[in-house]
Amino acid sequence: MKLIAGLGNPEKKYDNTFHNLGFMVADKAAELLDVKFSKRECDALVAVTYVKGEKVIIAKPQTYMNLSGECIGRLQARYKLGLADIIAAYDDCDIPAATIRIRASGSGGTHNGMRNAVLCLESEDFPRIRVGIGRPAPETPLANYVLSVIPSHLRESMQSAVQKAAEAAALFAGGVGIEDIMQRYN
């Protein structure tokens, strides 16, 4: 069994913001796997499908970004998932805009949602897909930047990054190892 968790914020006003790139990855992964978000479970909107006979859950936590880990932790406990069977997708200001980086493990870094996931899973040892958003101008607070709408000059390149991230998530769902996925997309 696999869990793809796309991190974001549930209200409509956050739909096209940098901080909802994880939700965008989850939506695109669901599209690639031909499944719809059809129910709520463990404080998440979920899409459930099977890939090569293995159950796959795609989740969009509805707990708001900073508490994303609570939802992921509940799903992990409910389905008795190993850490290697969970992958989180999220925005990251520490890498250039419209790039993706996939890692087998790591800290939450500057991302509060991932810090909460690490706390709730009690480990840094789970895969993640980071979608780069770059840094804001020095005069712009980081919180304002991540909650801002993706500017028009970045939309196409960000959509391309989301597509690649979703493809990586779909490979993960299909049982491709994280090292192979990293070699393909990093």
CATH number for position 116: 3.40.50.1470
Select which of 4, 5, 6, 19 is catalytic. 19
The amino acid at 162: V
- Residue 170 in contact with residue 30, Cβ under 8 Å? no
pTM above the 0.85 mark? yes
Tens of pLDDT along 26-45? 999 999 999 999 999 999 99
Is there a catalytic annotation at residue 111? no
- Enumerate the H helices of 85-151 as residue ranges: 112-121, 142-146
Tens of pLDDT along 86-131? 999 999 999 999 999 999 999 999 899 999 999 999 999 999 999 9
The pLDDT > 70 percentage for the chain reads: 100
- Domains identified in the chain, total number: 1
Structural domain including 80 reads 2-185
